Amino acid sequence: MLTIGKLGEAAGVKVPTIRYYEQIGLLPAPERSAGNQRLYGQSAQDRLAFIRHARELGFPLDAIRDLLSLSDRPDQSCAAADIIAKEQLAAVEARIARLAALKAELERMIAQCAQGTIASCRVIEVLSDHSLCAQDHHARIVAAE
């Protein structure tokens, strides 16, 4: 059995994160020692590793909850898991496209800078007036945050 600190070390997750995952139901409530200290077994460590890896891949918490629910029923079809993974792939591809557009805009902004004074700096000018951008990326940035 592991204490919350040892579980965090083993999984590479901070203690407040473990408590949060318990609070939102991703991790079940742990056993308690006689001194009321949280104690975790291998199944909690495995589940936390799953959550951490899914978070590293960018899955939102709701998708992780659904995937955990699916993993708790190993005899069913994996079609639902495939759908969740495909949705995550589409989200990653959309982020990549947004980042590519932002990169292009920054490159264009820098290339147009005359290296003069701030009064004539294209970077400052474009950042001050969104209409000077080549692409409308504002709405997508706000939605991504």
Q: For 91-134, what is each residue's pLDDT tens digit?
A: 999 999 999 988 988 888 888 777 777 777 777 887 887 777 77
Label residue 137 by pLDDT band (50, 70, 90). low
pTM attached to this predicted model: 0.74
**Residues sharing a CB contact under 8 Å with residue 49, sequence separation 6 or more, in sequence order:** 11
Q: What are the extents of the domains in the chain? A: 4-58, 96-144
The values of phi and psi at residue 31, to 5°, are: -70, 165
Regarding predicted confidence, which is higher, 17 or 36?
Answer: 17
Overall CATH class of domain 4-58? mainly alpha
Q: How many CB atoms lie within 10 A of CB 42?
A: 9
pLDDT at 34: 87
pLDDT at 117: 77
Q: How many CB atoms lie within 10 A of CB 84?
A: 19
Burial of 102 (0-12, 13-18, 19+ CB in 10 A): middle
pLDDT at 143: 44
Each residue of 58-94: pLDDT tens digit?
A: 999 999 999 999 998 989 899 999 999 999 999 999 9
In 3-state terms the chain splits into helix, strand, coil percentages (rounded to 5) of 65, 5, 30
